[in-house]
Amino acid sequence: MQISAPATTRSNSEPTGGKHPVFPVGHMLPFVLVTVLFFLWGMSNNLTDILVQQFKKSLELSQFSAQLVQTANFFGYFCMAIPAGLLMRRWGYKAGMVTGLVIFGLGMLLFLPAALRGEYAMFLIALFTVGCGASILETAANPFIAQFGDPVTSEQRLNFSQSFNPPGTVTGVLIGTYFIFSGVEPNAAEIEQMKTAGTYQAYLHGEIMRVVPTYLAFGLVVLLCALILSRTKFPVIESEHEGEGEDHGSFRDLLRTPTIWIAVAANFCNVGAQISSWSSLIPYMKQYTVVSERTAAHFLTGVLVAMLIGRFVSTPLMRYVRPSLMLGVYGICNAVLMLVSVLRPGMTGAWAVVASGFFISIMFPTIFALGLKGLGSNTKLGGSLLVMAIVGGAIFPPISGLIARETGSLALGYLVPLVGFIGVAIFGFYQSTQRTLLSGPAY
């Protein structure tokens, strides 16, 4: 089975209307299965936001050290994205997705020995392994969905599949809230009493062990998905020359394509801004409000619900508004909301972070689809570079944590995502001024 490129193209100013199908006609089963993967890695990525607070408490870490949870996870994206692109250039998208799922699942199973040893370094190794698997998975799934149908509607198609990522993130946070957070938060006096009674270390070990059942169950589900996907027939992406003996692209060609590198920079800023704003929210609320961990986690859930609403509201609007222009406007909106979090720490700042979820909604899939426009045989390698840019999620949170540690203010740490969202806005407005296919359709 093959998917052929459409015989006709249109100018950048022609609206789609209903002329171009969003979904791949006749190939819905692999489309649906791959879309399910967006839900799975959404669960994983936002469970790490819960782990930041859980490890900070149970392993008695500083905010900077706790943010290394994000560094370990997202550094895996950086390390494996290009190898994933090379793997898929040789074996195709399906091989990439199955390989990614297997590594992803095995990384989650590593949480058991890490918890039994109670060593932070072992948890970071497990999270790095999870990140490596997720990197391969995203390097395969995102460009596959973007290329899996009419190229004119690639942004809409990828935004649709990515719409199942926010329900996954919400599910992940809710699971973490009720199955990882115990709800037991002893104050300083109670901690001293526990130390005197010799029960404090047992309490900390119990808190560490709470992460194990969730990650073991999740890991087994991921490995089951790998088995199902391995037995599913996938079509060949003919427009990308995926058949044997065809041109599979080269990094040398990409060096002469500045648009992909601009998109990589934008995605670096985007993911870094997202992850640093989300992973700081629970500690931020613990510093400036009197809410419990679980209540703060509900605010994080609110961010993800807003993201889900934003995705479903914004994707249909892309038929009438240029996606790149929408991206620029949404970037500015989030920069303003981050400024509110800096200037008004407390409930007002927390609600500003919640509202930011709506505008974050379209950022990753739109940047990804715009970056891949017109790459042809270089799509897999270009996709690997865009996934590699997810390393922003490894770099921004520790910087935010370092600012918080040095100044004593988690609010000032929100200057970091503010800068990232400005970078996204610049990319969006730049792309909206272009009049080539690379700038995306002008809906």
Q: What is the DSSP string of 170-216?
A: HHHHHHIIIII--S----HHHHHHHHHHT-HHHHHHHHHHTHHHHHH
CA distance 181 to 322: 42
Name residues whose C-beta falls within 8 Å of residue 192's C-beta, 6 or more positions apart in sequence: none
The H-assigned helical ranges of 231-280 are: 251-255, 258-279
Closest by CA position to 153, among listed 248, 287, 18: 18
Tell me how far apart the alpha carbons of residues 146 and 129 are, in angstroms, rounded to a whole number.
26
Note the pLDDT of residue 1.
Answer: 31
Phi, psi (degrees; rounded to nearest 5) at 363 = -65, -55
Q: Which amino acid is at 165?
A: N
Rounded to a whole number of angstroms, the CA Rg of the chain reads 22
> What's the topology of domain 29-231+248-439?
Growth Hormone; Chain: A; (1.20.1250)
Report the alpha-carbon distance of residue 336 to residue 356 in Å, rounded. Answer: 9
DSSP-assigned states of every residue in 35-51? HHHHHHHHHHHHHHHHH
Q: Give pTM, 2 decimals.
A: 0.74
Instruction: Give the dihedral sign, CA 354/358/362/363.
Output: negative
Q: List, in order, residues 6 or more apart from 32 with CB less than 8 Å away.
A: none
Query: Which secondary-structure segment (H or E) carries 3?
Result: strand 2-3
**Looking at residue 9, what is its pLDDT?**
32
Closest to 211 measured CA to CA, from 285, 97, 120: 120
Beta carbons of 268 and 389 less than 8 angstroms apart: yes
Nearest to 40 by CA among 115, 97, 80, 95: 97
The rounded distance, in Å, linking the Cα atoms of 425 and 82 is 26
Axis-axis angle for helices 120-147, 154-162 (nearest 10)? 140
Report the helix count and the strand count for the chain, using DSSP H and E: 21, 2
Q: Where are the domains of the chain?
A: 29-231+248-439
Tokens encoding 148 = 């899996």
For 408, residues 6+ apart whose C-beta sits below 8 A from its C-beta are none
Torsions phi, psi for 3 (to 5 deg): -110, 115
**Nearest alpha carbon to residue 175 among 69, 88, 45:** 45
What is the distance between the alpha carbons of residues 159 and 443, in angstroms, rounded to a whole number?
14
* Beta bridge partner(s), residue 237: 3
User: pLDDT tens track of the chain, all 443 residues?
Assistant: 333 333 333 333 344 444 676 676 666 788 888 988 989 888 887 788 888 888 988 998 888 888 889 899 989 988 988 888 888 878 888 899 999 999 999 999 999 999 999 899 999 999 999 999 998 988 888 888 877 777 767 777 877 887 788 788 888 888 988 899 888 888 889 999 999 999 999 999 999 999 999 999 999 999 999 999 999 888 776 555 444 444 455 667 777 778 889 999 999 999 999 999 998 999 999 999 999 888 998 998 899 889 889 988 998 888 888 889 999 999 999 999 999 999 999 999 999 999 999 999 999 889 988 888 777 777 777 878 888 898 898 899 999 989 998 999 999 999 999 999 999 999 999 988 874 444 344 33
Here the tokens at position 429 are: 């407005």
Packing angle of the helix pair 93-109, 120-147 (nearest 10 deg): 160
d(Cα 65, Cα 399) in Å, to the nearest integer? 11
